[in-house]
Amino acid sequence: MKILVAVKRVIDYNVQIRVKEDGSGVNTDNVKMSTNPPDDNAIEEAVKLKEAGKVKEIVAVTVGEEKAQETVRKALAVGADRGIHVKADSYIEPLGIAKILKKVVEKEKPDLVFLGKQAIDDDCNQTGQMLAAILNWPQGTFTSKVNLKEKTLEIVREIDEGLETLEINLPAVVTCDLRLNEPRFASLPNIMKAKKKPIDQMIAKDLGVDITNRIQQLKVEEPPKRKGGIKVSSVAELVSKLKNEAKVI
């Protein structure tokens, strides 16, 4: 069995986001980048399945600029066997990414595709669902538990009412929740070994798919700063302000 895991390079979650002065986007110059956190969970789950003897090969794939290859190298250091880097010089919307991943799936023919549930930069939460739709594959989103069987996959996913257990046929697309597992750290020996593992190169524009962005970003601005709170002298004054000023009751 083969698993394809999609990983994305994003601004590290510990970094304070800064908006460019002209409002054209987020400043990424000299900013620490890392793997999208839910994608780390996706890689970890694939490696755990391989360690359990249920998976033979793990292929990590990313779409992005030249530096995005670092994300694939990290996946290789954690336990992926091969990497694929689809080069793209500019931002591609989730639909375009899904189309690119479809081409990779057709080439690699995996039994499972793992993705993070969403990326922490654009927060779209769309790529996995779109990929499943254009592949016409079953999908399991927001997955917090995976049980791989012979020809099916049992998952537990989070919904508004609690937890839902589903059994879906393979091949399938699964988006992984942060609660799925605890990602491991790559050891120094494995980081060195990862440098020798192969990474195939592709060019996004050469794949024959329409990756034109449908949404035009007009302006990016920081949220307004919160005003300081006030003290009230009585319950009556509190109720009055909640009713007349905050208008929440």
Closest CA to 209 of 122, 109, 107, 137: 107
Q: What is the pLDDT of residue 25?
A: 83
Q: 107 lies in a domain?
A: yes
Q: What is the pLDDT of residue 107?
A: 94
Q: 146 lies in a domain?
A: yes
Task: Domain count for the chain, please give it.
Answer: 1
Q: Which CATH number goes with the domain that contains 28?
A: 3.40.50.620
Q: What is the pLDDT of residues 8-36, one digit of tens each?
A: 999 999 888 888 888 888 888 888 999 99
- Residue range(s) defining the domain that contains residue 214: 2-244
Q: What is the pLDDT of residue 166?
A: 93
Q: What is the pLDDT of residues 183-222, one digit of tens each?
A: 998 889 999 989 889 999 999 989 989 998 888 888 888 8
Q: What is the pLDDT of residues 115-170, one digit of tens each?
A: 999 999 888 999 999 999 999 999 999 999 999 988 899 999 988 888 999 999 99
Q: 249 lies in a domain?
A: no
Q: What is the pLDDT of residues 162-194, one digit of tens each?
A: 899 999 999 999 999 999 999 998 889 999 989
